[in-house]
Structure 1
């Protein structure tokens, strides 16, 4: 049978750097995203397209290919059955028209097509749109550090993730811009995930986690991948699943960014140490914290880092994680040491962290038998955090129970009971 070579598809592949195998893989991934079933294409399938042996692929395959390329199948040299092969391919359009119509190579476009199908717009999406989203992300980060764990923060972050995704179909954009839009959506979704973790809404957190992981993979941004996997490890630690926590945190620690930037390595090690503490592995806890401290000291303070990293990870956070670990291990004196170091170094905007660290300090003091000092410390927690932040509220309830067991009927217990009641009234 005579065949006419598909030069339009070949030209697109050459322009965008695709081999037959890599295009087959991208289309398979798009098929899975669109249909829920993994595609069965390989390099020979694509070579068949280029050779003209297949002039009109199956409908699902065509849709996936259009998602990957951002072009209709006819623009790629394919001809519907029953039409003449001599129909001129629109690939003859001028370069400006082609630039407007080309969206992005790779599976990244799949989620945009699924999230907001519709007619393409002539609007050009650029880095100014990304910059606007990044400013909103900075606001989410700031709100989280002030309040933490609130459902309103979770919902706002989720809405902004959807807004970033909707921009994918709002017009044409360069591949770099689309990658940044996916990274922004992943960042917002990871903040929604963190707010749910912090509020102990773990089912919600897991739903955000799944979406965040998919978006991060499409963005190719290793920093946001690190954040999401690291959050996943923290989530499982709070859920009392240290084996799962270690597995997730190991994924974060094995990302290339931890080899490029010692500060990311330090955070991964510090959170790993907290997980070891929860697992009652003292030796591994101490070793991981030593390595985390060493990595932090090696980190370049002037290196570029994402806003979420700059906003929270420093010596105070490392000591806060050490406080959590040593509390879990029952080493209350060491826990208290790290609590004081963390509180001394905390930056003013870290209101949520201050409340958590102060509450943990009270636990460490009480466990050492100093009920009066512990109660004085616990009473410093602001009423808002004590009643509205799920983690702080629970830790303070546990503190009250431990205080009553330690000093039943004492004036200290009475003082604490009255203060807790005043918190509830103020809230």
Structure 2
């Protein structure tokens, strides 16, 4: 039996601080949430995965592992039965990723331009390679979010997918998948720009992503792009445009096939309604979103970008945003605590955002001491490097000084933010 070591899984564990025993415990808990029965994995089970003795875990175990890590089983180095194992790129942030991406583009262009050479056959292995890189981008986004480097790498990978179209012959199915890959990377570039408040760049990526998605015919990626557009317009303070964009996503027929897509569309509609100060519609949308989430089959096959982030925690996060905008601060605080308790370990960006919103909700209720204690839990890296978090914390500081001027809590916060600036 081939026992090639699973270096991708080992790299993910090293980056996120998991031992074999702690990962087994996390997967067991995820299995219990999925099946209602505790999992029976232990450290030896994970060591068998790392050593390559188990190349393709059982389906429920794979799903639980994907829920814990936010990556697909193949991106974690597992090999479906019947396939030849390969050594995938590790899913952590790779400082050489940009160099390798640009190298791939150059190679593809050289192949296309070389005179006298027969065109190579582009196949699903090329698509699978791009999909593993997509999983890397998704993982980087959930750790860091909004970074210009993520946007640039995603855009470069979109170009690589398009260059493959011209570097050889391929079936129509493969060409459609390549367009879907390119659209997926562009939508990640779009999201990184939105998250970093670079809205002009986001709109440019959106237009390119929409055109690529149309050529791909992929409903899921169309949903992602239009749903992102709704979020972008909500952040821009344009609720009419936000609702129109989100309605395009919600009108796609896959939302009728899969309640998880329907739930995400409804939850984002609720966030938009909250920003527009429509209390009745906000509550209705979140009630419907919860119903749809409860109906969703956790075992149904779905794209990694969706399964990596949308769950009960994200629904609470969107409800937190909506009720904060509505001025319903106790309800917002309740959603914040529920979100934070349910977030998956790797969702660092989402945790920073929810913690900052929790601080705002507590301060608005007059509890400055609790609010400052919450805000101080935001890591300095998010506070200084993530544009959305940084702006929300600046607004928090201004509100704190306005409501608790001269108090010890203001002094505590001032000293804390000074330390951030020193360490940045």
Superposition TM-score, scaled by structure 1 size: 0.72
Could you say which residue in structure 1 is the equivalent of 2:257? 260
Pair 1:354-2:351 in alignment: yes
Q: CA deviation at 1:122?
A: 1.6
The question of whether the paired residues in 2 share the 8 Å contact of 1:121 and 1:172 is answered with: no
Say whether residues 1:245 and 2:242 are aligned partners: yes
Partner of 1:287: 284
1:124 Cα shift? 0.1
Give CA-to-partner distance per residue, 1:163-184, whole Å, 9 cap, x none. 0000000100000000000000
The correspondence of residues 17-166 of structure 1 with structure 2, limited to 5 A, is 122-166=119-163
Matched, 1:316 2:313: yes
Matched, 1:194 2:212: no
**What is the aligned partner in structure 1 of residue 423 from structure 2?**
426
Give the aligned CA root-mean-square deviation in angstroms: 1.2
Higher normalized contact order (CA 8 Å, seq sep 6+, divided by chain length): 2
CA deviations 1:203-223 (Å, max 9, x no partner) are: 000000000000000000000
Q: Which runs of 5+ in 2 are unaligned?
A: 1-107
What is the TM-score with the length of structure 2 in the denominator? 0.73
SS, match of residue 277 in structure 2: coil
Query: Residues 172-187 of structure 1: matches in 2 within 5 Å?
Result: 172-187=169-184
Structure 2 match to 1:229: 226
Q: Number of paired residues?
A: 313
Q: For 1:5-24, what aligned pairs fall within 5 Å after superposition?
A: none
CA distance in 1, matches of 2:160, 2:346: 27
Q: Distance in 2 between matches of 1:410 and 1:121?
A: 75
Structure 1 contact 182–219 (Cα < 8 Å) conserved: yes
Deviation of the 1:375 alpha carbon = 0.2
The alpha carbon displacement at 1:121 in A equals: 5.0
Distance in 1 of aligned mates of 2:354 and 2:193: 19
Distance in 2 between the 1:255 and 1:397 partners? 39
Structure 2 distance, partners of 1:200, 1:239, is 9
2:336 aligns to what? 339
Name the structure 2 match of 1:275.
Answer: 272
Name the structure 2 match of 1:387. Answer: 384
- State the 4+ residue runs in structure 1 displaced beyond 4 angstroms: 115-121
SS of 2:132's equivalent? Answer: helix
After superposition, the Cα gap between the structure-2 partners of 1:121 and 1:383, relative to the gap in structure 1 and judged at 3 Å, is: farther
Q: Does 1:405 align with 2:411?
A: no
Offset at 1:135? 0.2
Secondary structure of 1:369 counterpart: coil
Q: Give SS of 1:265's match.
A: helix
User: Based on CA coordinates, which of the two structures has the bigger radius of gyration?
Assistant: 1
